[in-house]
Structure 1
Amino acid sequence: MQTLCKNHFLQQLYRKIDGAVLWSQNERNLDCVITFQTHSILQRFMLRFDGLQLDCNDHLFIYDGAHAVGTYKFDLSCKNTKQTLGAMFTRTNYVTLKYVTDNWGTDTNGFKLVITAVKDPKHPCMEFRCNLREFCIATDLVCDGINHCADGSDESSNNLCQNTETGTILGLEVTWFVVVVISTFLVLLVLIVGVSICVCRRSSWSHRSGNSIGQQNASYSLGQMYGSNGQVVKPTSGSTTTLADGNATTVPSGNWRRPAGPLGFRKPPARDRPYCPAG
């Protein structure tokens, strides 16, 4: 209650709710007003205390309307208990609470108030209908651990509450387990695709390099060489070369890349250095 009673602009607004639980424990020097409103004009509020123990100088005023003016519907103080009050209903779709406390109290003072927006049985219900009084309440209030129907039917519905219980797999909730499995699968898929791309690129590069080397070797081994007389020279093993007309000639090794001169693959004669007699 002390949080809701802070002095800011939200305090002046009507809070639209399907249901709420208000707690108060030994809150001192309070003087605040809170107004709640239903989402539909066909609804009204049911108020029920799960705990109520007020000091005689503390008062909780309940108004059946949108303002804390006029005659209040209830004035709750130390003389009231939750057993004597039971469930309380408004006639409008508004309820206004005015809580006034003094500067003294104990830890046992306070209350727990359950507020629920209900629709009467005469109206069609598309959500959840209580068993005892057949009130219609919002589906979000079912199986939330709070008795909104006052008869406990919204918390004891076996079919609904069992379906809303979340199971666990390997210590994780089903939703988180599915998220982890999908994330792991996507990471593995990305790794597999990356490795496959790398392997394909390496294979393609090795294939191209092998073909290039093979073509180069073939050009050296199958290339034809021409002699000085225009005849085709076919290289053979060793230093012996066979000409196209069948004549054989001996060429020193290591001269295949040197052009043939007029005398064939022969070492050019060394030049004689001129001799100048000493004068």
Structure 2
Amino acid sequence: MKWKTPAIFVFCVWVTTSLAVEYMTDHCGEVLPVAGGGVLVSQPEDQYSGGTDCQLTLSAHSGNYIHVTVHTMSINCNGDSLSIYRGRSVALFELLGSPICGTSQIAFTTEEGGYFSSTNKLTLHFVSDSSSSPKGSGFNITYAEYNTSPCSSAEFPCSNARCISADLTCDMHDHCGDGSDETGCTNGSNSHLSAGKIVGIIVGVIIVVIFFATALAYFTCFRRHDDSQSSKSPAVVYSTRQYRGQRV
């Protein structure tokens, strides 16, 4: 039996983070549109495999930039690493910092609060050696598209003069690079929900109500059908004469 994620669980995750989740090894060699922001996980499996050589380019709208924050990482430093480059090619553009690996938060945290592109593209390169030695769980990063002020009405003005989508505020991820999009939040929730989130919540609630109402109606009708079938079953009645005749 194949397990399917309940729709209500998917909806709750979407409302909480507002971020699309992608797996890097599913998009090797591709250009992935940023479209506001998202979460990038190294691979769908619990641990990455040996012989990995995956390159992925994040692409924002023309004139915008990309900010990447590495949240968790478990990469074996014996030949395995993640490298982040400015631009759309490993060969042609600048490596940001140095290849990163390990599990220490200090090892993959920059003083600038993450990694920032100089154009609308940023490239990641994830490699592992071919050995069959135990590997790590890989990495989990968030990426966000930003531009410089003045910000539009659909954007949030960061304290560092960057503009990000208003939908990325108060989702427990630092998309600005200075944490200003997470200030004034209550338990990671956004006290000033955007119109998109409000519509999404309303639609989600309606879907959940319709689902449970349909399920209730189905089971009610099914039970009534069973009861009606039981009431129509013919009763066997023996007359006194038949009963006596059988005993003689």
TM class, shorter-length: 0.5 to 0.7
Cα separation, partners in 2 of 1:134 and 1:174, compared to 1, 3 Å: same
Q: Is the 8 A contact 1:42 1:93 kept in 2?
A: yes
Displacement of 1:141 in angstroms is 1.8
Unaligned runs of 5+ in 1: 184-279
Q: CA RMSD in A?
A: 3.9
Aligned to 1:5, what secondary structure does the other structure show? helix
The alignment of Structure 1 onto Structure 2 pairs a total of residues equal to: 173
Counterparts of 1:1-279 in structure 2 under 5 Å?
Answer: 3-6=23-26, 11-17=28-34, 18-24=36-42, 26-28=47-49, 29-39=51-61, 41-56=62-77, 57-74=79-96, 75-78=98-101, 81-84=107-110, 86-102=113-129, 103-104=131-132, 106=134, 108-121=136-149, 123-158=150-185, 161-164=190-193, 175-176=205-206
Rounded Cα–Cα distance in structure 1 between residues aligned with 2:208 and 2:107: 49
Q: Give the aligned residue type for 1:33.
A: Q
Q: Give the aligned residue type for 2:108.
A: K
Aligned residue number for residue 188 of structure 1: none
Cα separation, partners in 2 of 1:97 and 1:162, compared to 1, 3 Å: same
Q: Identity rate of aligned residues, in percent? A: 24
- TM-score normalised by length of structure 2: 0.55
Unaligned runs of 5+ in 2: 1-20, 214-248
Cα separation, partners in 2 of 1:178 and 1:2, compared to 1, 3 Å: closer
Rg (Cα) greater in structure = 1
- TM-score normalised by length of structure 1: 0.50
- Offset from partner CA, 1:65-115 (integer Å, 9 cap, x none): 112223541332347713456422111100111110124555655222221
Aligned to 1:161, what secondary structure does the other structure show? coil
Q: Is the 8 A contact 1:45 1:94 kept in 2?
A: yes
Q: Is the 8 A contact 1:59 1:77 kept in 2?
A: yes
Aligned to 1:150, what secondary structure does the other structure show? coil
Q: Give the aligned residue type for 1:21.
A: V
